[in-house]
Amino acid sequence: MALACILLAAGAGSRLGGGKPLALLAGRPLVRWAAEVALAADFDHLLVVGPPGERGEAVRAALSGLPVQFVTQPQPELGLLASFQVGLQALPEGLEGTALALADMPFVTLQTYQNLLGLHAQTRSPLVLTRYGGEVSAPPHLFRRDLFPELLALPAADRGPREVVRRYRGEAVISERPTEEGRDIDTPADLARAQQEWASGHSTRSDKG
């Protein structure tokens, strides 16, 4: 059962002043936080989709030493779904499915990924969704390989793979996780708040259940 994880890190993050995947949290770039916890979950393949040019090289450098495949999204302005589609097209053959993860969600834990993988192994559902606090559905999500053609056929837009999620919601399995894990980093205030939490003794995501 070979599974991949596609980590999206191509967005500029204009509300954070640009270069969001490289924003430092506890001295490490957000994209490295996200990549390390995904790698700890023991996916068979981790693919990071980054921007072109100097920003892309900086993201690649932030991942130095990690066993990841880096793929460039030449048009990051097209949004999340287009970046996911670039990742899907670059995946190796023979996979059973892939998770979709975001580089700006540093509170997602190893347990969240393990739940995702465990539910897939138990059910072989076409879709495993993560839901935070019983209300908010947000990555990581896991898509079975037979959904890839439908994902690739969606028109590029910044709405993510919502249409495919809607089609298969009745067959989806839900992984329930705590509300705080679903937070992302969009603004300087978000980053400052996260910095304060880490400084006050926040446990690392790989240790937190």
pLDDT digits (tens, 9 = 90+) for 12-65: 665 565 678 998 988 899 999 999 999 999 899 999 999 999 999 999 999 999
**Residue 83: CB partners within 8 Å, gap ≥ 6?**
8, 10, 11, 49, 73, 76
Per-residue model confidence (pLDDT) at position 18: 62
| Closest by CA position to 102, among listed 69, 151, 138 | 138
pLDDT higher than 70, residue 129: yes
Q: For the CA atoms of the chain, what is the radius of gyration?
A: 16
Question: Is 74 within the bounds of a domain?
Answer: yes
- CA dist., res. 16 & res. 9, Å (int): 14
pLDDT higher than 80, residue 159: no
Question: Is 209 within the bounds of a domain?
Answer: no
Per-residue model confidence (pLDDT) at position 194: 82
- Burial class of residue 196, CB neighbours in 10 A (0-12, 13-18, 19+): exposed
197: confidence class by pLDDT, cuts 50, 70, 90: confident
The pTM (predicted TM-score) of the whole model is 0.92
- CA dist., res. 176 & res. 59, Å (int): 31
Beta bridge partners of 69: 47
Per-residue model confidence (pLDDT) at position 15: 59
Overall average pLDDT of the 115-137 stretch? 95
Question: Is 174 within the bounds of a domain?
Answer: yes
Which H, E and C letters describe 99-129, residue by residue? EEEECCCCCCCHHHHHHHHHHHHHHCCCEEE
pLDDT higher than 80, residue 135: yes
The average confidence (pLDDT) of the chain is 89
- CA dist., res. 197 & res. 203, Å (int): 9
Overall average pLDDT of the 184-189 stretch? 84
Q: What percent of the chain has pLDDT over 70?
A: 91
Please answer whether residues 128 and 175 qualify as being in contact, where contact means their C-beta atoms are separated by less than 8 angstroms.
Answer: yes
pLDDT higher than 60, residue 209: no
**Residue 160: CB partners within 8 Å, gap ≥ 6?**
80, 81, 84
Dihedral, CA atoms, 36, 8, 24, 129, nearest 10 degrees?
-70
Question: Is 208 within the bounds of a domain?
Answer: no
Q: Kindly provide the residue ranges of all beta strands, DSSP E only, lying in 51-95, ordered along the sequence.
A: 69-72
**pLDDT for 78-115, tens place per residue?**
889 999 999 999 999 999 999 999 999 989 999 999 99
Question: Is 205 within the bounds of a domain?
Answer: no
Please answer whether residues 120 and 129 qualify as being in contact, where contact means their C-beta atoms are separated by less than 8 angstroms.
Answer: no
Say which residue, 157 or 29, is predicted with more confidence.
Answer: 29
Per-residue model confidence (pLDDT) at position 199: 72
Domain region containing 122: 3-200
Measured in whole angstroms, the distance separating CA 189 from the mean position of its chain's CA atoms is: 21
Question: Is 134 within the bounds of a domain?
Answer: yes
Please answer whether residues 132 and 87 qualify as being in contact, where contact means their C-beta atoms are separated by less than 8 angstroms.
Answer: no
* Domain CATH code at residue 37: 3.90.550.10
pLDDT higher than 70, residue 1: yes
Q: What's the number of domains the chain is made of? A: 1
Question: Is 206 within the bounds of a domain?
Answer: no
Diameter of the chain measured on Cα atoms: 46
Amino acid symbol at 76:
P
- CA dist., res. 114 & res. 205, Å (int): 12
Question: Is 151 within the bounds of a domain?
Answer: yes
